[in-house]
Amino acid sequence: MEDELSTLFKALGHPIRRRILDILKGSPKTTGELNEYFPEVTRYAIMKHLSLLEEGNLIVVRREGKYRLNFLNAVPLQKMHNRWIGKYMESTANSLLNLQSIVEKKGEDKTMNVTGHEQGRVFKIEQEVLINAPREQVFQALTERAGDWWEFRLAPKGVASQFTFSAVPGGKFIEKWGENQGAVWGNVYYVNAPEEIRLHGHLGMQGAVNSSYTYRLVEKEGATLLQLSHHASGIIRENWEQEHSEGWKYLLGSLLKNYVEQSQ
């Protein structure tokens, strides 16, 4: 943990690298696009800064054709917050962890006034978290034991609910309450256990939205690098990308990671 924080602090130690993170918070960028923000800096220098950010696990790189697309990975920042700030606060993980606010609004705003700015939006969330446990154990926690750590609920307040996750093609990640009430958080359309599982699911978003998310698990020196990809398109409200990014960061970087590592 301390070695990870040392690498993280080193990555944050230069104003250009901090500015890059601010830019990527808005949306992913190619290396060339980032270079345009710093006309006084060479492309080679920007690539060195990106390399240090990648070492600190603060960015996730995905290849799209001939381009290198850089995504912000906020999970290490949450871990730093928990280590150096959150432990001294009376209440931790407060407004930052607001995927909950999405699902709690399920009964509000039944009709949505759609403007031109709300049409045709797309977002892509890419995050990584290193979990100190074997890949099989992480996959099991993600699927058949998801109800043990998945904190968010669509059930009405005060009503107990249970989760089931059938990790087979055509299976479902379901929350149930009452006799015939519940919600589908995801429909499984691809499984290659324990390496990858892909699902379709709205994850709290209402209306004409196409949303899918993927877990990839990579073995890394006795630990597991969990890679999340969440892509959505359609009538998407402006704050949904940020809220889902923060919610995933909390779910995977805090709740799942702590659940798995403390179960060993």
For residue 193, the domain's CATH number is 3.30.530.20
Choose the final residue of a domain: 19, 50, 72.
72
pLDDT score for 73: 87
Structure tokens at 254: 């805090």
Structurally, how many domains does the chain consist of? Answer: 2
Tokens of 33: 């696009």
Answer yes or no: is 105 within a domain.
no
Based on the fold, state whether residues 120 and 213 are members of the same structural domain.
Answer: yes
Whether 15 is in a domain gets the answer yes
- Kindly tell me if the per-residue pLDDT of 115 is higher than 50: no
- Among 44, 72, 100, give the residue marking a domain's end: 72
- pLDDT grade for 105, boundaries at 50, 70 and 90: low
Q: What is the mean pLDDT of residues 194-199?
A: 96
Confirm whether 90 is domain-assigned: no
C-alpha closest to that of 78 among 154, 152, 4, 163: 4
What is the band of 84 on the pLDDT scale with cuts at 50, 70, 90? low
Residues 7 and 135 in one domain: no
SS3 content of the chain, % helix, strand, coil (to 5): 35, 30, 35
Q: In 10 A of CB 91, how many CB atoms?
A: 7
Clarify whether residues 196 and 140 are in a common domain: yes
Cα radius of gyration rounded to whole Å, the chain = 19
CATH code where residue 33 lies: 1.10.10.10
> pLDDT tens-digit profile of 181-193?
999 999 999 999 9
Can you give the residue range of the structural domain that contains 60?
A: 2-72
> Would you state the pLDDT for residue 110?
43
| Co-location of 13 and 115 in the same domain | no
Q: Provide the pLDDT for residue 113.
A: 46
Backbone region of residue 186 per phi and psi (left: phi > 0; alpha: psi in -120 to 50; beta: other values): beta
- Quick check: is 252 in a domain? yes
CA atoms within 13 A on the CB side of 146: 21
**Per-residue b or e along 180-218, where b marks 16 or more CB atoms closer than 10 Å to that residue's CB:** eebbebbbbeebeebeebbbebbbbbbeebebbbebebe
pTM: 0.64
> Would you state the pLDDT for residue 131?
95
Q: Which residues contact 102 (CB under 8 A, 6 or more apart)?
A: 203, 204, 205, 240, 243, 244, 247
44 belongs to a structural domain = yes
The mean pLDDT value of the chain amounts to 83
- The closest alpha carbon to 130, from 257, 260, 10, belongs to 257
Mean local confidence (pLDDT), 8-14? 84
Q: Which residue has the tokens 């307040």?
A: 157
pLDDT tens for 123-180 read 999 999 999 999 999 999 999 999 999 999 888 888 999 999 999 999 999 999 988 8
Number of other CB atoms surrounding residue 132 within 10 Å: 15
